[in-house]
C-alpha cells in the first residue's frame, strides 16, 4: 500500500495548507472531510442532479454507469435549490483553496470559474468507469472530488501518480505549441505499466482536490459494487504561460500518450483530423 501520509491532511488545517499540498504533490486527500449527515444530505442532491432533464445537463451513459455534467449556475437557478451540494462545494473554504492554489501560478481566478461546473457520477456496474485509464485532463482544472460511498480499489477508487503534474504540464505545453486546440492533446498514457499509480481509498465524505495535470484515472468496479462521486471543477486558463513555467520538471521517465480524452470542450473543426500516432516526449 502506498504511503499517502504527506498528501493527507487531517483537521485542523488552513486553506493554504491544502493549496500548498496540491502544488507539491498534484493532489491532497482530506479524509472524511464531510460528516455522515452531510454526505446523506449531499447524496439527495446527487440523485436530483442525475434526474435533471437532458436540456439542463450533459449526460453520458457509459454502460457501467452514468455521469451528468451541470453548470453551477444551472443548479443555482433551479427550483430544487441543490442547497446541500452548493453549500458544501461552493463554500468559503473551497473558494479560498481554489484562489490560493491558482495564486501560486500567478492566476487571479475569476469568480465565475471557481466551481463553475459539476460532474456527478454514478458507477454501478462491474467494469471500468468512464475516465478509468491513466491520463491528464485536456482542459486543465482543479477538481474537488467527493466520495459519497466508502471507496476502495474494489469499487473503482481514483488512481493517481503522485507528483506527475509538473512533468505532464510540460508535455501539454509542448503540444500546445504545435496546436493550441486542447482537443489535440494526447493525454492518455499509452502504457500504464510504465508508471506506478496508487488507488486513493477512503470513507464516504472524503475529499480529494486534484490538479488534473496530475496523472489520474478511475478504477474497475467488481461485481455488486457502486461508486458515487461529485466533482466540482474550477477551470484554469490553458494557455497562460505562467501556469506552465513556475514548476520544475520533477520526473524524468518517458511517458507516451495516446488516446483521445473522454471529455473535451471544443468540437474538432471539420477540416481537421486528429493525428493517430502517439507522442514520446523526453
* Residue 158 contacts ligand AKG per CB under 6 A: yes
* Residue 143 contacts ligand AKG per CB under 6 A: yes
Let me know: does 236 contact 104? Beta carbons within 8 Å.
no
Interface pick for ligand AKG out of 231, 238, 243, 247 (rule CB under 6 A) = 231
* Residue 31 contacts ligand AKG per CB under 6 A: no
Tell me the site size for ligand AKG, rule CB under 6 A.
11
Eight-class DSSP state of 136? -
**Measured from the CB of residue 60, what is the shortest distance to ligand AKG in angstroms?**
12
* Residue 138 contacts ligand AKG per CB under 6 A: no
* Distance, CA of 69 to CA of 188 (rounded, Å): 21
Eight-class DSSP state of 41? H
Segment near ligand AKG (CB under 6 A); pick from 33-41, 70-78, 124-132, 183-191 = 124-132
**Cis omega before residue 12 (within 30°)?**
yes
* Residue 207 contacts ligand AKG per CB under 6 A: no
H or E element in which residue 60 lies: strand 58-61
At residue 95, φ and ψ (nearest 5 deg) are -65, -40
**Measured from the CB of residue 213, what is the shortest distance to ligand AKG in angstroms?**
10
Let me know: does 153 contact 217? Beta carbons within 8 Å.
no
* Residue 129 contacts ligand AKG per CB under 6 A: yes
Eight-class DSSP state of 4? -
Segment near ligand AKG (CB under 6 A); pick from 16-24, 38-46, 209-217, 240-248 = 209-217
Segment near ligand AKG (CB under 6 A); pick from 49-57, 94-102, 181-189, 211-219 = 211-219
Q: What is the CA radius of gyration of the chain?
A: 18
**What is the number of the residue whose Cβ is closest to ligand AKG?**
218
For β-strands 220-221 and 198-199, DSSP reports them as: unpaired
Residue ranges that bind ligand AKG, judged by CB under 6 A:
129, 131-132, 137, 143, 158, 212, 216-218, 231
Amino acid at each position: 500500500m502506498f504511503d499517502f501520509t504527506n498528501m493527507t491532511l487531517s483537521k485542523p488545517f488552513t486553506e493554504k495548507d491544502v493549496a500548498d499540498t496540491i502544488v507539491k504533490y498534484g493532489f491532497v486527500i482530506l479524509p472524511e472531510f464531510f460528516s455522515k449527515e452531510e454526505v446523506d444530505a449531499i447524496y439527495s442532491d446527487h440523485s436530483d442532479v442525475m434526474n435533471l432533464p437532458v436540456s439542463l445537463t450533459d449526460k453520458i451513459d457509459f454502460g457501467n454507469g452514468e455521469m451528468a455534467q451541470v453548470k453551477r449556475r444551472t443548479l443555482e437557478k433551479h427550483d430544487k435549490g441543490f442547497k446541500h451540494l452548493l453549500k458544501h462545494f461552493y463554500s468559503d473554504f473551497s473558494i479560498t483553496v481554489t484562489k490560493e492554489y491558482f495564486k501560486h501560478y500567478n492566476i487571479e481566478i475569476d469568480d465565475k470559474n471557481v466551481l463553475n461546473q459539476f460532474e456527478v457520477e454514478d458507477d454501478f456496474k462491474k467494469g471500468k468507469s468512464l475516465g478509468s485509464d491513466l491520463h491528464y485532463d485536456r482542459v486543465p482544472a482543479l477538481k474537488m472530488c467527493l466520495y459519497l460511498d466508502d471507496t476502495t480499489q474494489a469499487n473503482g477508487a481514483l488512481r493517481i501518480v503522485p507528483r506527475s503534474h509538473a512533468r505532464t504540464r510540460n508535455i501539454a505545453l509542448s503540444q500546445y505549441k504545435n496546436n493550441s486546440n486542447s482537443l489535440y492533446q494526447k493525454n492518455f498514457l499509452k502504457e500504464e505499466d510504465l508508471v506506478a499509480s496508487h488507488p486513493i481509498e477512503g470513507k464516504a465524505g472524503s475529499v480529494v482536490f486534484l490538479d488534473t495535470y496530475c496523472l489520474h484515472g478511475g478504477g474497475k468496479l467488481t461485481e455488486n459494487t457502486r461508486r458515487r462521486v461529485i466533482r466540482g471543477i474550477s477551470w484554469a486558463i490553458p494557455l497562460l504561460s505562467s501556469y506552465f513555467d513556475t514548476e520544475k520538471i520533477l520526473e524524468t521517465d518517458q511517458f507516451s500518450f495516446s488516446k483521445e480524452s473522454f471529455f473535451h470542450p471544443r468540437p474538432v473543426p471539420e477540416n481537421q483530423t486528429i493525428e493517430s500516432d502517439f507522442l514520446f516526449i523526453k
